[in-house]
Amino acid sequence: MRILLINQQFTPEPTLKGLDFTKALVARGHEVRVLTGFPNYPGGDLYPGYRVKLLQREDIDGVKVYRVPLYPSHDRSAIRRIATYLSFAFSSAIAAPFVGKGVDVAYAYHAPGTIGLPALTLRFLRRVPFVYGLHDLWPDTLTSTGMVNSRLLLRMIGGWMKLIYRFAGRLNVISPGFKRRLVGRGVPAEQIDVVYNWARQETPSTSSEDRPWRQVLDNRFNIIFAGNLGKAQALDSVLEAAALVAEQNDEIQFVFVGTGIEEDNLKQQAKAMELPNAVFWPRVSIEEAEEFLAAADVLLVHLQDDPLFAITIPSKTQSYMAAGRPVLMAVAGDAADLIEQSQGGVRCRPEDPAGIAEAALHLHSLPPAELEAMGKRARAFYDDNLSFAEGVRRVEESLRKVVEG
């Protein structure tokens, strides 16, 4: 098949559907082109060596990449974020009929929902069918994160998404809950394929002894949260759990690795609470982050207690399971179901400090051999159901169904 990938972020930006994904499709015998923007994520600043121009063509390891203009921004301003989304949507919609000439199918990766505009343009002007991959569910995500509060705008966005669903050849969703939600909105179930996200790094790393954070972890039972420190993660509840744990056990510590808009607030809260068992470490490279995961006794996932997150599987779930470490899943719904099915950890309610503390104390009480077995079960489940190879196979199957259908 001749495939056009439409994705606002692409290598060298961190993105799940990046160069490795396209190269895997090429290895399966397909021709792949990429329509994307100029790299600026996650900082909102253009990467060195790039400047915004009308069109830039690159050849990266045999994959043709076409970059079109956008307004680079990724900060707390909703207006600037919308400007980024819309600028790429319109420039890619103009370019899509030219870049996509002669392709058999397009794969539009929903991050964000405005990515549907170039896919629809290609569909109408070139009669090229497309598969629409949903990483987020709009307008639900916009409501939950507080990015959009206008009811009129939310209704307009909902109508826009229905238009995309109507003309998409197939939809790829990241969880069974997403599928149920879309079916409830009138999308035919047979049009939807569940394609779980995979981990960016699938080979568990061994921790280098010379890393400075080794001294922070040594001689403690480390429950590590790695990733964005934002509002959706609601980590103030984890700090409250840490306070409860500290009253009963002085070996357990909670380690927060990363940065985000709530980082300063969380640090201030931990200081005010005089927590002896809460450690913050700045964002590290992907490679070093994998070493952090490998050094953990337990890996923590936590999100707000929100109905949307009950049908969401945070991407760190796959990274944690691929790392082969036990998972403390403080997220309701589909993500917790995966941990239960795999027997690779324990689950508890989100935003429940007492429940999180109880789970932490329980995991600490287990023999090391049982914790190791938990981690191995998590990894085995990942290999069978959530791996990169399995994800690529499912996407390819969706694309083929559209082309043959």
Dump pLDDT digits (tens) for 212-226. Answer: 888 888 889 999 999
**pLDDT band at 91; cut points 50, 70, 90:** very high
Same domain as 129, residue 102: yes
DSSP string of 248-263?
T-SSEEEEEES--TTH
Same domain as 254, residue 192: no
Per the DSSP assignment, residues forming a β-bridge with 60 are 63
Better-scored residue on pLDDT, 391 or 216: 391
Rounded CA separation 17/11 (Å): 9
Give the amino acid at 201.
Q
**pTM for this structure?**
0.83
Q: List the single range of 102-106, 236-240, 306-310 with lowest mean pLDDT.
A: 306-310
**pLDDT band at 341; cut points 50, 70, 90:** very high
**Residue 344 in domain:** yes
pLDDT of residue 12: 93
**pLDDT band at 55; cut points 50, 70, 90:** very high
Same domain as 98, residue 224: no
Same domain as 273, residue 170: no
Q: How buried is 237 (Cβ within 10 angstroms: 0-12 exposed, 13-18 middle, 19+ buried)?
A: buried
Using one digit for the tens of pLDDT, what is the confidence trace for 69-87?
999 987 777 788 889 999 9
Per the DSSP assignment, residues forming a β-bridge with 237 are none
- The vertex-5 CA angle with 118 and 19, nearest 5°, equals 140
Using one digit for the tens of pLDDT, what is the confidence trace for 152-193?
988 999 999 999 999 999 999 999 999 999 999 999 999 999
pLDDT of residue 209: 66
CATH at 305: 3.40.50.2000
pLDDT of residue 127: 96
**pLDDT band at 282; cut points 50, 70, 90:** very high
Same domain as 220, residue 188: no
Give the amino acid at 381.
F
Same domain as 221, residue 124: no
Asked if the model's pLDDT at residue 207 lies above 60, the reply is: no
**Residue 205 in domain:** no
**Residue 6 in domain:** yes
**Residue 165 in domain:** yes
pLDDT of residue 42: 81
Among 293, 270, 288, residue whose Cα is nearest residue 280: 270
Same domain as 243, residue 315: yes
Same domain as 91, residue 40: yes
- Measured CA to CA in angstroms, residue 15 lies from 206, 305, 358 at distances of 24, 26, 35
DSSP 4: E
As a whole-number percent, the residues of the chain with pLDDT over 90 amount to 78
Same domain as 276, residue 257: yes
pLDDT of residue 246: 97
Same domain as 223, residue 145: no
Among 76, 59, 82, 58, residue whose Cα is nearest residue 68: 58
Of all helices (H) and strands (E), which one includes residue 279?
Answer: strand 278-281
DSSP string of 8-65?
SS-TTS--TTSHHHHHHHHHTT-EEEEEEE-S-TTTTSPPTT----S-EEEEETTEEE
**Residue 208 in domain:** no
**pLDDT band at 291; cut points 50, 70, 90:** confident
Question: What is the pLDDT of the chain when averaged over all its residues?
Answer: 93
Same domain as 322, residue 227: yes
Structure tokens at 268: 């201030």
State the residue range of the domain holding 329.
214-385
Give the amino acid at 191.
Q
DSSP 191: G
**Residue 209 in domain:** no
**Residue 322 in domain:** yes
* Number of domain units in the chain: 2
Same domain as 324, residue 264: yes
Rounded CA separation 319/315 (Å): 7
Query: What is the SS3 string spanning 192-217?
Result: EEECCCCCCCCCCCCCCCCCCCHHHH
E strand segments, 61-215? 63-68, 105-110, 130-134, 170-173, 192-194
**Residue 193 in domain:** yes
